[in-house]
């Protein structure tokens, strides 16, 4: 069992936005795994994770309002709307994962609170930031980070997943979520800012991951593809939700100390004329006992008429076991109709981790 704390400090910032930059955000988590290997080689594994988080008050779980409407539909994937920004200042605690896994020669099966195969098979840019990364950020100091290509439609909702063994470098997977109602820290599929949140049911995810290493040249190529579909509705008759379909693709290319990654996602958001699209790319290098990364990405939500651009540049270094310090520059820009928002600053991300209990099932 491991205890981890992540503290994000923004000591220097400049904002031309209705959303103020949060000078301090953070998270404490405790997670553990236990497993037992049977005589026939089958592995039985149980995993759980409890997290306590203080994020930007206007973007809890990635949802957000970027308008002035009292009632507004929420994008089934993006979580964005034209409602007024919210303010949730409380620290949130959630059981983010709790699942049982059976892993044998015919693949693995997971049952419980877990991410679907769309998120698990993701490939994309590598960042020195674990939580304030550009794509699908876990902590958002500016409140303007809306680039999300990690294919996580259902969040930590209860589901059943199957992933095949890797054959000739390829691995496939499928997930089924009866009711995506989890109020997660990073993904809140059943929440929204405009009072008209989507009810997502019968979600199916299909994903494929491929890896190829050229031993003589040292190149490695990883590719991830995913598709998901789900029924979307709302208890009121004020919205016209329909089936939500989402596609994504990503790649990561490694050579020696260099890593390049890029990813794309497109979703119809379960609403007409409300397509969401995002892409990101980044370059990472390990040198001089440190890590360096540069990331850039854009997103568009047609239903909100919101366009955003984001940039990250940073360096990180580990100081002994369980201690990592990352420092860098963050810039997020948003444009909607005649409104423009810009937030930028220096961020410091401090990660401390410690194994507190060793759990074994054998």
pLDDT for the residue 362: 62
Q: Is 120 helix (H, G, I), strand (E, B) or coil?
A: helix
Q: Residue 18's pLDDT is what?
A: 82
The pLDDT score that the predictor gives to residue 196 is: 83
Residue 101 phi/psi, 5° resolution?
-130, 135
- Secondary structure letter of residue 270 according to DSSP: T
**In the structure encoding, which two tokens stand for residue 316, read together?**
């990180």
Instruction: Please count the other Cβ atoms lying within 10 Å of the Cβ belonging to residue 176.
Output: 14
Domain annotation covers residue 176: yes
Rounded Cα–Cα distance for residues 56 and 74 (Å): 19
| CB 80 within 8 Å of CB 74 | yes
Which domain, by its residues, includes 67?
Answer: 2-355
Residue 150 Cα to chain centre, angstroms: 5
- 125 inside domain: yes
Residues 6+ apart with CB under 8 A from 165: 105, 106, 107, 171
Dist CA 349 CA 130 (whole Å): 8
**What would the pLDDT profile of 86-144 be if each residue is shown by its tens digit?**
887 779 999 999 999 999 989 999 999 999 999 999 999 999 999 999 999 999 999 99
Asked, for residue 361, whether it belongs to a domain, the answer is: no
Beta bridge partners of 282: 261, 295
Contact (Cβ atoms closer than 8 angstroms) between residue 81 and residue 58: no
Q: Say if strands 290-301 and 306-318 run parallel, antiparallel, or are unpaired.
A: antiparallel
| Model pLDDT, residue 267 | 98
Count, residues in the chain: 362
Each residue's pLDDT tens digit, 37-85: 999 999 999 999 999 999 999 998 889 999 888 888 999 999 999 998 8
- Residue 307, Cβ neighbours under 10 Å: how many? 15
pLDDT of residue 346: 98
Tokens, residue 306: 């919101």
Main-chain phi, psi angles of 159, to 5 degrees: -155, 170
- For the chain, 362 residues long, the average pLDDT of each consecutive 10-residue run is 96 90 96 93 95 94 89 93 84 95 95 98 98 97 97 97 97 98 89 83 98 94 99 84 97 98 98 96 98 99 97 97 96 94 97 82 62
Strands 339-355 and 2-16: antiparallel
Helices (H), 144-200: none
Other beta carbons within 10 Å of 89: 9
Answer whether residue 241 is part of any domain: yes
Q: With 0.85 as the threshold, say if the pTM is over it.
A: yes
Residue 158 forms part of a structural domain: yes
In a domain, 360, yes or no: no
As a whole number of angstroms, the distance between CA 35 and CA 49 comes to 15
Number of domains observed in the structure of the chain: 1
Q: What are phi and psi of 117, to 5 degrees?
A: -65, -25
Question: What tokens does 81 get?
Answer: 């709307």
Q: Is residue 362 domain-resident? A: no
Q: In this structure, are strands 72-73 and 80-83 parallel, antiparallel, or unpaired?
A: unpaired
**For residue 109, what is the domain's CATH number?**
2.40.160.10
């Amino acid at each position: 069992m491991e205890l981890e704390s992540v503290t994000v400090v923004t000591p220097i910032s400049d904002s031309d936005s209705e959303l103020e930059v949060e000078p301090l955000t953070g998270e404490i988590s405790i997670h553990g795994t236990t497993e037992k290997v049977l005589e026939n080689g089958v592995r039985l594994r149980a995993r759980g994770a409890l997290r306590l988080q203080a994020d930007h008050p206007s973007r809890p779980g990635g949802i957000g309002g970027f308008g002035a409407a009292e009632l507004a539909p929420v994008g089934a994937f993006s979580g964005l709307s034209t409602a007024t920004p919210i303010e949730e200042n409380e620290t949130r605690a959630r059981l983010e994962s709790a699942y049982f896994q059976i892993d044998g020669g015919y693949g693995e099966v997971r049952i419980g609170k877990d991410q679907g195969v769309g998120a698990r098979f993701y490939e994309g840019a590598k960042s020195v930031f674990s939580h304030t990364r550009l794509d699908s950020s876990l902590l958002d100091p500016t409140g303007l980070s809306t680039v999300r290509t990690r294919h996580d439609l259902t969040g930590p909702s209860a589901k059943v997943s199957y992933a095949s063994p890797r054959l000739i470098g390829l691995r496939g997977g499928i997930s089924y979520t009866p009711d995506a109602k989890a109020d997660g820290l990073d993904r809140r599929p059943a929440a929204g800012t405009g009072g008209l949140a989507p009810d997502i049911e019968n979600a199916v995810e299909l994903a494929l991951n491929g890896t190829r290493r050229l031993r003589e040249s040292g190149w490695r190529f990883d590719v991830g593809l995913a598709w998901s579909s789900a029924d979307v509705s709302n208890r009121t008759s004020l919205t016209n939700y329909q089936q939500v379909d989402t596609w994504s693709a990503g790649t990561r290319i490694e050579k020696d100390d260099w890593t390049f990654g890029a990813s794309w996602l497109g979703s119809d958001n379960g609403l007409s004329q409300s397509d969401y699209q995002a892409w990101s790319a980044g370059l990472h290098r390990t040198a001089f006992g440190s890590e360096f990364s540069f990331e850039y990405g854009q997103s568009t939500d047609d239903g909100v008429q919101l366009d955003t651009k984001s940039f990250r540049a940073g360096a990180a270094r580990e100081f002994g076991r369980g201690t990592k310090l990352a420092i860098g520059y963050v810039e997020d820009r948003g444009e909607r109709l005649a409104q423009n928002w810009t937030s930028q600053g220096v961020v410091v991300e401090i990660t401390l981790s410690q194994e507190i209990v060793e759990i074994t099932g054998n």
